Structure 1
Amino acid sequence: MASLQQRGNHFCGGTLIHPRFVMTAAHCLSGISPQRVQVVLGAHNLRRQERTQQRLRIQRVFENGFNPQTLRNDIVILQLEGAASTNANVQVARLPQQGQNVRVGSQCLAMGWGRLGNNRNSPAQLQELNVTTVTALCPTTNLCTLVPRRRAGICFGDSGGPLICNGIVYGIDSFIRGGCGSGFFPDSFARVSDYVQWINSIIRGHTGYAQWSWRRIAARRQKLF
């Protein structure tokens, strides 16, 4: 789990997919100079200078036809200036195979440092929420989730963070409708499995690695809401 920050302030999440690459939502960097963004890894409490934290700058941004009007292709890959040190607190996430989709009704985890509600502040500590994948009212190009029988969901500041199902990152937090945790409209995520070949081509082309062994993401977690 990564925190994207400007001047020490969190504004979006991200996922470490290789020691030199982080995946996030394209809209997170819309109108923002990448040179002003710091990627923070190994964080749990953003209001503390934790010894586990690693801070890296962005060297290059790879985008894939993002449409800011429709939020289609809401994904970018950030190449870091240096390589993250993988350890018990910072690990590389597993991605699905190209075209491998999660089943409807699957239990997944959304996480981030986004607001705790429409009119509530952002938390200091990393939050986690149990969600269920759905298709009702979901745009055909997205992966969507709801929290059954509760008004809960992702919120402002969670954008770019991962949706994890069975230990695999299937989605990137993209957009909400009807406010945070509307209880009616599902939360929408960019579908990672549509972009795996493109992601792998970037990693191969800019690291010299023919393959990468995806490892499970590790994070200390708390319940959201």
Structure 2
Amino acid sequence: MQQIIFVALLVVAAVGAAPQQQTSNVDRNIDSIFNTNPSIFEQTAGQQQQQQQQQSQTPTRRPGFSEIVTPEPNVTPINFESISGKSATCNCVPYYMCDPSTNSITEDGTFDGFGAIDIRFGNDDPICPSSVDVCCAGNRTRAETLTPTAPVRPRGCGIRNVGGLDFTLVGANNNEAGFGEFPWTIAMMHASNFSYFCGGSLIHPQVVLTAVHCVNTQQPGSFLLRAGEWDSQTEKERLPYQERTAQRIITHPQFNPRNVANDYALVIVDQPYLLDDHINVVCLPAQGATATPRTTCYSTGWGKDVFGANGKYSVIMKRVPLPVVEFTSCQSQLRRTRLGPKFGLDRSFMCAGGEVGVDTCSGDGGAPLACPIGAAADNRYQQSGIVAWGIGCNDAVPAAYANVALARNWIDQQMLANGFAIDSYTA
């Protein structure tokens, strides 16, 4: 199966075109490539119109990206023999309502996790329909939520929950992230229909860092920002997501729509998020810091697997491992593409990627590129880049990311001017 990945592509006008034509071409590229009005699934115009009509007639809350989900567990007994070969029955319930084993919970009620959950979809295996449901034997099914004992973790920004919280994944063959593994990742959705259009990162309980190209056509109040999301088609995770409304949008004054230079934006939400194991802020680099080439960083989000109409959006958050590429080397590689030998990469960008089949792609512009810092045992990350653009998806050419280290002073200034402390994202 092809690697599933995500976020944001080509945005350069043809070399030699007249200035007015360049602006027109790039605007058109931004509209089509950064794709700031997609549903989580690709739709035809007729399907979109039908969905809009249904939404206008049925104002039902749509918790998963434009898809109606059923939050109540399915407690219909299943023939356990068809699943495991054992002569018994089981119930499909959320994992946290199933004792991991009859001996797992000690007398004081503590235990360290729920084991493995198989997230395979569309296979012939008779598994429970929701990604967080398990087939639980009757004597292990519980009416109350079971909460595992949290391990001792470092405090502060940028703490990655390696492997995820609560459980480990089986069948994660497409770079699926663990539940709560990258707790700073934000999903941005249109308030009118809950359709996903971009990613972001939490840098303060009330401030999200994203890309200008994601928000320069949006108005405060027109979109929602969801923290703590994992599987966009269920609300059954033990720790719930939190949604906030955009209250104010701040864009970098030197943003250039022609080449997407200085693609930095801050979104202030209407009320702070409540930080938790699955919701936390990411660290930011110092002004002018340079990400070390070949360092493996991660971009996270719900974007497409391939470019264009055939691409499908992810249901479960993906984590794409991407090596940092030195600036001059990146520019040289981009010059060997259709951009041409005279292409100049703006200094506001950094680069990452370049491995065939492992890349960011359309639908997740604004998503973070986070790189490890400090002692390996701390699992601490800082955000070095913001997904901006690239030449297609999955090719052996690095993609361009807004270089966060070059905007740290501007971010600090905007935070202080709006009454927010800057220590939340300082490692």
TM-score (structure 2 length as normaliser): 0.48
Distance 1:154 1:213, change over 3 A: same
1:27 counterpart SS class: helix
| Contact 2:198–2:367 (CA under 8 A) maintained in structure 1 | yes
Confirm whether residue 72 of structure 1 aligns to residue 258 of structure 2: no
Q: How far is the alpha carbon of 1:208 from its aligned partner?
A: 5.1
Pairing partner for 1:45 from 226, 231, 251: 231
Task: Tell me the distance in 2 between the aligned counterparts of 1:202 and 1:87.
Answer: 25
In structure 2, what is the equivalent of residue 156 of structure 1? 362
Structural mapping, 1:60-99, within 5 Å: 60-64=248-252, 65-99=254-288
**Separation of aligned partners in 2, 1:152 and 1:172:** 17
Question: How far apart, CA to CA, are the structure 2 residues paired with 1:147 and 1:129?
Answer: 12
Question: What secondary structure sits across from 1:144 in the alignment?
Answer: strand
Structure-2 separation of matches of 1:73 and 1:140: 9
For each residue in 1:8-35, what CA deviation from the matched residue of structure 2 results, as whole angstroms up to 9, or x when unmatched?
1111000000011000010011322232
1:105-135 alpha-carbon deviations (Å, 9 max, x no partner): 2111111110011222101110011111113
Q: Any idea what the Cα deviations from partners look like across 1:33-61, whole Å, max 9, x if unmatched? A: 23211000000011122552110011111
Distance 1:190 1:146 in 2: 14
Asked whether the 8 Å contact 2:204–2:424 carries over to 1, the reply is: no
Higher strand share: 1
Check if 1:21 corresponds to 2:212.
no
Runs of 4 or more above 6 Å deviation: none
Q: Hey, what's the Cα distance between the residues in 1 that align with 2:424 and 2:200?
A: 19
Q: How far apart, in 2, do the equivalents of 1:80 and 1:111 lie?
A: 21
1:144 corresponds to which of 336, 340, 351:
351
1:190 to 402, 405, 412: 402
Tell me the distance in 1 between the aligned counterparts of 2:419 and 2:278. Answer: 23
Contact 1:91 1:215 in 2 (8 A): no
Separation in 2, partners of 1:154, 1:172 = 11
Other-structure match for 1:132: 323
Task: For 1:175, give the aligned amino acid.
Answer: W
Q: What is the distance in 1 between the residues matched to 2:316 and 2:213?
A: 23
| Offset of residue 214 of structure 1 | 2.6
Between the aligned partners of 2:231 and 2:195, the Cα distance in structure 1 is: 12
Task: Return the alpha-carbon distance in structure 2 between the equivalents of residues 208 and 29 of structure 1.
Answer: 21
The Cα of 1:67 is off from its aligned counterpart by 1.1
Letter in 2 for 1:46: S
Please state whether the residue corresponding to 2:288 is helix, strand or coil: coil
Structure 1 partner of 2:424: 213
For 2:425, what is the secondary structure of its paired residue?
coil
Paired residue for 1:221?
none
Between the aligned partners of 2:227 and 2:290, the Cα distance in structure 1 is 27
Structure 2 CA distance for aligned equivalents of residues 171 and 101 of structure 1: 11
Within the alignment, does 1:30 sit opposite 2:221 as a pair?
no
Q: Which range moves more in the overlay, 133-142 or 39-48?
A: 133-142
| 1-structure distance, mates of 2:302, 2:200 | 11
Structure with the bigger percentage of helix: 2
> Do the aligned partners of residues 208 and 171 (structure 1) sit closer, same or farther apart at CA in structure 2, a change above 3 Å counting?
closer
Tell me which residue corresponds to 1:219: none
Instruction: Note the C-alpha offset of 1:103.
Output: 1.4
Q: Which runs of 5+ in 2 are unaligned?
A: 1-184, 332-344, 373-380
Q: Look at both structures and tell me which one has the larger radius of gyration over its CA atoms.
A: 2
The residue that corresponds to 1:180 in the other structure is 393
Aligned to 2:330, the other structure's residue is in SS state: coil
What is the rounded CA distance, in whole Å, between the counterparts of 2:275 and 2:306 in structure 1? 33
Are positions 1:117 and 2:306 aligned together? Answer: yes
Match of 2:243 in 1: 55
SS of alignment partner, residue 203 of structure 1: helix
Is the partner of 1:137 in helix, strand or coil?
A: helix
Distance 1:132 1:55, change over 3 A: same
The count of aligned residue pairs is 212
1:169 pairs with 379, 383, 399, which one?
A: 383
Deviation for aligned residue 1:137: 3.4
